[in-house]
């Protein structure tokens, strides 16, 4: 791909169009937008722009299309696969200043927001209405970033991923047109589902400038449960059994023994063993109690050596805080190292096979790997610390072997981190000829290829 | 649009390719595929083809693309908006013979099927696994037709529409390529969501030849409830209150008084009044009991004059049978007349306004209208019997006024019947410039415009 470099003349022209207070070419600003939270190589944009409304976004895209300048949308940089790293330089389009709640439709369990608001900040505002937006990737990712990457997280097993919780969007196309997709009706069958085409397209088809999200009532009753097992296999078989029981768990997370040891350094007191963390949300105390009894029964039958349920909010918060901050904890345990984070997902029946294969592969390559995952969805993350390029190459190799296994098991190369840079190489293996169709769609929406180039598609496609 | 007529030479050529036992040009076969279950004008295809595998579908589409012959896919003809009426003649592609269950993935709560199987026939096979496919449009629509039109029905309020219950599909494109979209992993974020692009595209972008569906466990405990109100307003306000309570109802249906009178002629014993039919599915008897108490409380507070709950399967079956067969009952009550069936949906908070507006509009036009709807989703159907062209024109006018009101209220011109012929005129009002984008997608996937022409897009688009 070949693009026009942003010469001082072009920078001046664009700055004149958008306003100097919304543009920067300082090294500091460019460095702040050169890297996400993952392990991919940083790349500086040539310019950072902070638009304040959809018209300004349209103006940038139209100008960039005309001038063949790449535009990479940016939420807050919590992505892990380099999804928002501007690998071809050009314009970094930060949606940070478009962070307003436009309207809360409390009676409809909906909220209309701008893309730059963090989901945690949104939920803090919604709590007074007794409502929340359930997808939770851990970090305070922006809604725009979550939709663009179809982020998911620990509550997806009950409430779905980002894609399942959006009804309507405003999107700016590469040529500067501003369109609306979907409606605020929860049921809609009026033509092509453009909403779902943009969701998960990682900013390569358009820029989301507004979204109406589905909300759910804050559950009246919640309980967290923790179960420990002697073997990984017993833990994983329990996941399949709990899912099979029909209990509507709100979270069903797996941690391997190394992870539990690490988390205990943050204040939790988890037996060092393969562990399941579970959460149940219920409208009635009776339901909650009955579900807990059933889950404990299943865990004991599968050989749990420890089971504890708690409805105490503080204890629940400590548990989930530890789980959510596992990545930071891991970094502290491997000072000076980087962490390669894998993300694959398979049908739940294939989960034990995938986990066993991953453990063997890691052992065979003689490296350290920490496994944790949204097990209820068949989604596993493996964290592989590495110190140098040789270590990186080893991690990449292990990653590739496990990704291809997940695809062979009927799964996907990415359950929730998106394709970005890291998974592009596996798109052909997963999608076959459908990848050509995706590429045709890309060319239709972005004929000059300016939107987030270098992502999703492998170089050959 | 201009297409090539199927001359005897072309019919012979195609028959030679596909096999005589899979082709027919008899008037009887063409007449059987000229009309769906709705009120739109019939149109005979020139030829009917029953392919038996994806390769034969590919062969037909490739040939038709080359020869500029229209192809209209057909499930079993239960559509209501003319979605499968071959308005430009050409080939009627019946998927009837592709009706196999390919594999039941019981541990994954999934099934892989061919498109021609009816959802009731599928569920009859699944019952031994304790699983079912929840979308239920009433008639025994085929899975292919349900996906192509994103059919929904009475259980959508809990389990979602067809679009929410599919993971992976095989699709034949207009040029004969056979692609696979999605995977069997419930979590997937690997590139563009082509699955959701084909779902609801009404056979205008490709032909679905296989699908892996999500299933749910047959609930252990179910209860049906019926509540009667003095006024429509009281019933509709109750719908909003029940939804707002956070109870996870599995069905929340509204019937107006005229509908209850009609249904009683089929053996039910419903007080003749504005009525809500509800169903709750629960994993525990305790949950069910607690939910029923809460629903009754809400109904009484909203002024219900009658409330009854039943967990007796026979009584439940009678109730739902009556609801599902309301259309046939209505036809018997208006012998010799046709029925214009409206379908619109709005955000739930706008439902009372929509219903009041619809009643006024019907009264102002001095016609008869029967209202029933999936009220929990803000989805209403109004049935308008008509005897002649003047009556049809009046019904069409009433329909147009109510559709535009639904769109103005933030809703959609169709919640679940799809666009077909009848809603094409409202696509611009609902989608604005996004309709142009849909049209660009159509041209990309089907450059010769052979796939189900005359649907979704208004003639101007």
How many Cβ atoms are within 10 Å of A390's Cβ, its own excluded?
A: 9
List CB contacts (< 8 A) between A54 and chain B: none
CA distance B15 to B201: 28
Angle subtended by helix axes A351-364 and A232-244, to nearest 10? 160
Residue of A103, A191, A411 for testing the chain B interface, max B β-carbons within 10 Å: A191
At B383 the pLDDT is 95
CB A449 within 8 A of CB A416: no
Question: Which residues are registered as beta bridge partners of B225?
Answer: B278, B309
Residue-wise pLDDT tens digits, A110-138? 999 999 999 999 999 999 999 999 999 98
Q: Where in chain A is the domain with CATH 3.30.43.10?
A: 8-96
Q: Which of B180, B417, B440 sits opposite A189 (nearest CB)?
A: B417
Q: Are A384 and A369 in contact (CB under 8 A)?
A: yes
Cβ distance of A456 and B191 shorter than 8 Å: yes
Q: Are A357 and A365 in contact (CB under 8 A)?
A: no
- Which chain B residues have a beta carbon less than 8 Å from that of A80? none
ipTM over 0.90: yes
Burial of A222 (0-12, 13-18, 19+ CB in 10 A): middle
Q: Which residues of B touch A417 (CB under 8 A)?
A: 189
How far apart are alpha carbons A64 and A244 in whole angstroms? 51
- State the Cα–Cα distance between residues B211 and A164, nearest whole angstrom: 19
Strand partners, A308: A226
Left, alpha or beta for B418 (phi > 0: left; psi -120 to 50: alpha)?
Answer: left
Question: What are the backbone dihedrals phi and psi of residue A216, each rounded to the nearest 5 degrees, phi first?
Answer: -130, 155
Shortest CB distance from A189 goes to which of B374, B416, B438?
B416
CA distance B191 to B390: 51
Pick the CATH number of A334-419 from 3.10.105.10, 1.10.3720.10, 3.30.70.2740, 3.30.1330.10: 3.30.70.2740
Mutation target among B106, B159, B186, B237 for the A interface, most CBs of A within 10 A: B186
State how far the Cα of A151 lies from the Cα of A202, in Å rounded to an integer. 11
Of A171, A173, A136, A179, the residue nearest A155 (C-alpha): A136
CB contact under 8 A, A348 and B108: yes
Q: What is the pLDDT of residue A327?
A: 80
Question: Residues in chain A with pLDDT < 50?
Answer: none
Residue A264: per-residue pLDDT: 83
Contact B191 A438 (CB under 8 A): yes
Residues of each domain in chain A carrying CATH 3.30.70.2740? 334-419
- Tell me the three state secondary structure of residue A361: helix
- What is the C-alpha to C-alpha distance for residues A100 and B282, in angstroms, rounded to an integer? 39
* SS3 assignment, position A341: strand
Torsion angle, alpha carbons of B281, B285, B291, B297, to 10 = 130
pLDDT reported for residue B386: 95
Q: What are the Cα distances from residue A99, in Å, to A119, A135, B8?
A: 11, 18, 64
Report DSSP state, residue B325.
Answer: T
Phi, then psi, of A334 in degrees rounded to 5: -130, 65
Q: Which residues of B touch A134 (CB under 8 A)?
A: none
| Residue A65, number of CB atoms within 10 A of its CB | 20
CATH 3.30.465.10 intervals, chain B: 1-218+423-461
Alpha helices (H) along B72-176: 119-126, 143-149, 156-159
**Per-residue model confidence (pLDDT) at position B161:** 98
Q: What share of chain A is helix, strand, coil (3-state, %, to 5)?
A: 40, 20, 40
Backbone torsions φ then ψ of A54, nearest 5 degrees: -65, -35
- Backbone angles phi and psi of B112, in degrees to 5: -110, 125
Residue of A nearest to B194 (CA): A197
Q: Which two tokens stand for residue A252?
A: 């069903």
Q: Coil, helix or strand for A422? A: coil
Q: What is the pLDDT of residues A37-69, one digit of tens each?
A: 999 999 999 999 999 999 999 999 999 999 999
Give the span between the Cα atoms of B294 and B381, in whole angstroms.
28
**CATH 3.30.70.2190 placement within chain B:** 221-325
What is the token pair recorded at B24?
Answer: 């027919």
Distance from CA of B369 to the nearest CA of A (A): 22
Residues of chain B below pLDDT 50: none
**Cross-chain Cβ contact B190/A413 below 8 Å:** yes
Residue intervals of chain B classified under CATH 3.30.70.2740 are 334-420
> What are the DSSP calls for A275-338, one per residue?
EEEEEEEESSHHHHHHHHHHHHHHHHHTTEEEEEEE--HHHHHHHHHHHHTHHHHHHHHSTT-E
Residue B245: its pLDDT value, please? Answer: 83
Q: Å from B69 to nearest chain A CA? A: 23
The CATH class of the B1-218+423-461 domain is: alpha beta
Give chain B positions within 8 Å (CB) of A199: 193
Distance CA A131, CA A128 (A): 8
Q: Which class would CATH give A8-96?
A: alpha beta
Is there a contact between B189 and A164 if contact means CB atoms under 8 Å apart? no
Residue at token pair 């049908």? A347
Instruction: Verify whether the Cβ–Cβ distance A179 to B434 is below 8 Å.
Output: yes
A101-217, CATH topology level: 3.30.465
CA distance A399 to B160: 35
In this prediction, residue A461 carries a pLDDT of 55
What residue ranges of chain A are covered by domains with CATH 3.30.465.10? 101-217
How many residues are recorded in chain B?
A: 461
**Residue B110 and residue B102 in contact, taking contact as beta carbons nearer than 8 Å:** no
Q: Residue A99: CB partners within 8 Å, gap ≥ 6?
A: A114, A116, A117, A118, A121, A142
Q: What pLDDT does A262 receive?
A: 82
Q: Which of A104, A105, A177, A192 has the most B C-beta neighbours within 10 Å, making it the best mutation to test the interface with B?
A: A192
CATH of domain B221-325: 3.30.70.2190
Residue B454, sorted as left (phi over 0), alpha (psi -120 to 50) or beta, turns out to be left
- Domain A221-327's class? alpha beta
Indicate yes or no: pTM above 0.95: yes
Query: Which CATH number does the domain B334-420 belong to among 3.30.70.2740, 2.60.40.680, 3.30.1600.10, 3.40.920.10?
Result: 3.30.70.2740
């Amino acid at each position: 791909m070949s693009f026009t470099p942003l010469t001082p003349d072009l920078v001046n022209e664009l700055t004149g169009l958008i306003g100097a207070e919304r543009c920067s070419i300082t090294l500091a600003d460019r460095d702040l937008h050169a890297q996400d939270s993952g392990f991919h190589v940083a790349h500086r944009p040539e310019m950072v722009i902070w638009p304040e409304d959809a018209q300004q976004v349209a103006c940038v895209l139209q100008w960039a299309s005309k001038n063949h300048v790449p535009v990479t949308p940016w939420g807050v940089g919590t992505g892990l696969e380099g999804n928002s790293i501007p690998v071809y330089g050009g314009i970094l389009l930060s949606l940070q200043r478009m962070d307003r709640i436009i309207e809360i439709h409390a009676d409809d369990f909906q909220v209309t927001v701008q893309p730059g608001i963090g989901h945690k900040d949104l939920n803090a505002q919604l709590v007074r209405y007794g409502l929340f937006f359930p997808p939770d990737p851990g970090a305070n990712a922006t809604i725009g970033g979550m939709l663009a990457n179809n982020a998911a997280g620990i509550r997806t097993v009950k409430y779905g991923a980002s894609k399942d919780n959006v009804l309507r969007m405003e999107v700016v196309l590469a040529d500067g047109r501003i369109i609306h997709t979907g409606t605020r009706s929860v049921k809609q069958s009026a033509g092509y589902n453009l909403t779902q085409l943009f969701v998960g397209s990682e900013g390569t088809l358009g820029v989301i400038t507004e979204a109406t999200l589905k909300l759910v009532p804050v559950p009246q009753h919640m309980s967290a449960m923790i179960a420990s097992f002697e073997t990984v296999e017993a833990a994983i078989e329990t996941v399949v059994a709990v899912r099979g029981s029909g209990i509507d768990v709100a979270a069903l997370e797996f941690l391997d023994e190394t992870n539990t040891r690490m988390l205990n350094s943050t204040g939790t007191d988890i037996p060092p063993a393969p562990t399941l963390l579970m959460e149940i949300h219920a409208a009635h105390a009776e339901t909650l109690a009955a579900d807990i009894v059933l889950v404990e029964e299943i865990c004991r039958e599968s050989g749990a050596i420890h089971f504890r349920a708690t409805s105490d909010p503080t204890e629940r918060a400590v548990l989930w805080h530890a789980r959510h901050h596992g990545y930071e904890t891991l970094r502290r345990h491997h000072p000076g190292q980087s962490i390669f984070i894998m993300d694959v997902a398979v049908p739940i029946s294939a989960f034990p096979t995938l986990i066993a294969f991953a453990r063997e592969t890691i052992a065979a390559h003689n490296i350290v790997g920490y496994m944790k995952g949204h097990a209820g969805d068949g989604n596993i993350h493996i964290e592989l610390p590495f110190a140098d390029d040789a270590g990186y190459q080893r991690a990449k190799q292990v990653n590739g072997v496990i990704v291809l296994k997940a695809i062979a098991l009927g799964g996907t190369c990415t359950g929730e981190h998106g394709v970005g840079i890291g998974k592009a190489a596996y798109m052909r293996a997963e999608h076959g000829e459908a990848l050509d169709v995706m590429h045709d769609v890309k060319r239709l929406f972005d004929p000059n290829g300016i939107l987030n180039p270098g992502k999703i598609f492998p170089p050959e496609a």
